[in-house]
Amino acid sequence: LLMKFNWSAEVGRLILILVPCALLGLVAGSVAWMLILGFTIYLIWQVLQIHLLLTWLYAGKRKIPFNISGIWTDIYSAVHQLHNTNRKRKKKLSAMVKRFRESTAAMSDATVVLAPNGTIEWFNEAAKHLMGLQSPTDVGRRITHLIRDPRFSQYLMTKDYAESIDLRSPVDESLHLNLHIVPYGNKRRLLTVRDFTRIHQLEKVRRDFIANISHEMRTPLTVISGYLETMIDDGEANGDQEQTSKLRQMQDQSSRMRRIVDDLLNLSRLETSDRTTVELSEVSVSSFVRDIQAEVTMLSKTGLHQFVAEIDEDLWVLGSAKELYSAFSNLVGNAVRYSPQGGKVHVSWRHDDSGAYFVVEDHGVGIEAEHIERLTERFYRVNKDRSRNSGGTGLGLAIVKHVLQRHEAVLSIASNPGVGSTFTCEFPLHRVVHKRSAIEIANV
Ligand code: ADP
């Protein structure tokens, strides 16, 4: 260590002061005092060096002063080296930050960095025109003061950022924005905002197109159906069997088309109406089940299916009666249509600590696992012929899925080919109420 640093020069300096002092002391007769004087001079000199070092540090000078020696040379060069590496690191870091800012600034998606308390730390160029953020005035402000939609505050608070939310831009109502938060680092959050106005418009055009075309087709279908009815009557009166059977087939096809058109219209209505506008009436599931049973028994023609219902009569759902009825009757209808005559259909409605469940279980044909995930897609059918022959439109489960989504419920499907299927609608507890049953109320 002694070799590495300039300690020898320091020792030399001390000797250079102390030896003359000692000699002077010998002459004057007080060696001790003279040595103390020598040490004091050395100490003063060192303090002076410390003072010089401090001045040098505060002045921020880069060059090492030339008039230093001994261990001080090492101290100065160590500080100088440290300073240099720091400077290089800083340069590298600021170049990196600059590159990052340049790339995010060039992005068409808005990016906002949020501090742990929800205030804005930084945002890019796109955030200015998509959300009207202003630099630098909005830095340090709460993001909820700038995006005032309660849905956004709720999204920010829940801390569940698995999904994104769609909002209108606070500066331009015609802009549709998709907002997504990604938590990162030390409780920071990155808010990314995408302009999906074009996709939104395309979606709207698609929905409107389906709604319009379905609507337009209704009238011609009614007319065709009406004429076919009359022609069948005429054919029967004339005893023309062949003609009548052909006309009947046409009649069947036109009613099938009518059902498809009706389902398409229902579906587009469900899609176009806002999820937040779903009505919140108290709906009695138990009275539904009786009506559905009657309807389905009539539909199954044979009426040979066995129904077992296990219904909690006092459990009501908050939602739209019309929509829920169509969802539940679709599920029960499917259970009948996809099970053999005499098959047992089990319907239950109950709740536990985590939710309320409407379950339809059949002992029918069942569904292979690979199809289950896709059943709720429009027109997805495992067996097209079977679906058609039993009067299916291929839209039933798509309607069920939409209705349930609008009621914050989820559909789960479990099935065993050849054994049967179970369709479960799970409602969150805040969507159900406990009330006296519909029958009891009617009897009072
Ligand atoms: P569809 O009008 O064809 O019944 P859905 O949307 O109601 O249309 O159902 C889609 C497909 O899911 C059906 O074609 C059928 O293959 C299958 N499926 C639905 N319910 C059942 C069930 N209970 N058992 C077996 N398969 C079913």
Beta-bridged to residue 415, according to DSSP, are 421
Amino acid at 192: T
pLDDT over 70, % of the chain:
95
Q: Which of 181, 178, 212, 213 is nearest to 198 (CA)?
A: 178
Predicted pLDDT of residue 300? 59
pLDDT over 50 (residue 308): yes
In this structure, the residue with its CA closest to atom 20 of ligand 1 is: 334
Residue 137: pLDDT band (50, 70, 90) is: very high
Q: Is 326 helix (H, G, I), strand (E, B) or coil?
A: helix
Q: Which atom from ligand 1 is nearest to the alpha carbon of 393?
A: 2
Q: Identify the residue with better confidence: 114 or 102.
A: 114
Q: Which atom from ligand 1 is nearest to the alpha carbon of 378?
A: 6
Q: Measure the N-to-C terminal CA separation of the chain; round to a whole number of Å.
A: 102
What is the CB neighbour count within 10 angstroms for residue 395?
20
The predicted-structure confidence for 335-359, as pLDDT tens digits, reads as follows 998 988 888 999 999 999 999 999 9
pLDDT over 90 (residue 306): no
Residue 38: pLDDT band (50, 70, 90) is: very high
pLDDT over 60 (residue 438): no
Q: How remote is the CA of residue 269 from the centroid of ligand 1, in Å?
A: 21
Q: Which atom from ligand 1 is nearest to the alpha carbon of 388?
A: 3
**Starting from the edge strand earliest in sequence, which strands make up the sheet with 110-114, in order?**
120-123, 110-114, 188-195, 176-184, 165-168
pLDDT over 90, % of the chain:
64
In this structure, the residue with its CA closest to atom 4 of ligand 1 is: 392
Beta-bridged to residue 387, according to DSSP, are none
Predicted pLDDT of residue 444? 39
* Calpha distance 291→170 (Å, rounded): 47
Predicted pLDDT of residue 68? 85
Please give the structure tokens belonging to residue 263. 């389902």
Cβ-contact 338, 364 below 8 angstroms? yes
Predicted pLDDT of residue 301? 60
**Starting from the edge strand earliest in sequence, which strands make up the sheet with 344-351, in order?**
306-311, 344-351, 356-362, 420-427, 410-416
Which H/E stretch holds residue 311? Answer: strand 306-311
Residue 293: pLDDT band (50, 70, 90) is: confident
For the segment 428-440, the average pLDDT, to the nearest whole number, is 80
For the segment 427-443, the average pLDDT, to the nearest whole number, is 75
For the segment 367-373, the average pLDDT, to the nearest whole number, is 95
Beta-bridged to residue 361, according to DSSP, are 346, 422
Cβ-contact 327, 380 below 8 angstroms? no
Which residue is associated with the tokens 């097209």?
A: 384
pLDDT over 70 (residue 440): no
Q: How remote is the CA of residue 283 from the centroid of ligand 1, in Å?
A: 26
For the segment 27-45, the average pLDDT, to the nearest whole number, is 93
pLDDT over 80 (residue 331): yes
pLDDT over 50 (residue 107): yes
Q: Is 60 helix (H, G, I), strand (E, B) or coil?
A: coil
Whether the CB of 383 sits within 6 Å of ligand 1: yes
* Calpha distance 111→180 (Å, rounded): 10
Predicted pLDDT of residue 294? 84
Lowest mean pLDDT among 25-29, 293-297, 360-364, 429-433: 293-297
For the segment 16-34, the average pLDDT, to the nearest whole number, is 92
Residue 105: pLDDT band (50, 70, 90) is: confident
The predicted-structure confidence for 163-186, as pLDDT tens digits, reads as follows 899 999 999 999 999 999 999 988
pLDDT over 70 (residue 439): no
Rg (CA), the chain: 41
**Mean pLDDT score of the chain:** 89
Q: Which of 338, 374, 383 to mutate to test the pocket of ligand 1 (most atoms within 8 A of CB)?
A: 338
Residue 143: pLDDT band (50, 70, 90) is: very high
In this structure, the residue with its CA closest to atom 11 of ligand 1 is: 381
In this structure, the residue with its CA closest to atom 3 of ligand 1 is: 394
pLDDT over 90 (residue 436): no
For the segment 94-108, the average pLDDT, to the nearest whole number, is 87
Residue 102: pLDDT band (50, 70, 90) is: confident
Residue 423: pLDDT band (50, 70, 90) is: very high
Q: How remote is the CA of residue 338 from the centroid of ligand 1, in Å?
A: 7
Q: How remote is the CA of residue 229 from the centroid of ligand 1, in Å?
A: 30
pTM, entire model: 0.68
Residue 182 CB partners (closer than 8 Å, separation 6+)? 161, 189, 190, 192
Whether the CB of 338 sits within 6 Å of ligand 1: yes
pLDDT over 80 (residue 274): no
DSSP structure class, residue 117? T
Residue 373: pLDDT band (50, 70, 90) is: very high
Whether the CB of 347 sits within 6 Å of ligand 1: no
pLDDT over 70 (residue 442): no
Whether the CB of 402 sits within 6 Å of ligand 1: no
Q: Which of 329, 375, 386 to mutate to test the pocket of ligand 1 (most atoms within 8 A of CB)?
A: 375
For the segment 78-93, the average pLDDT, to the nearest whole number, is 92
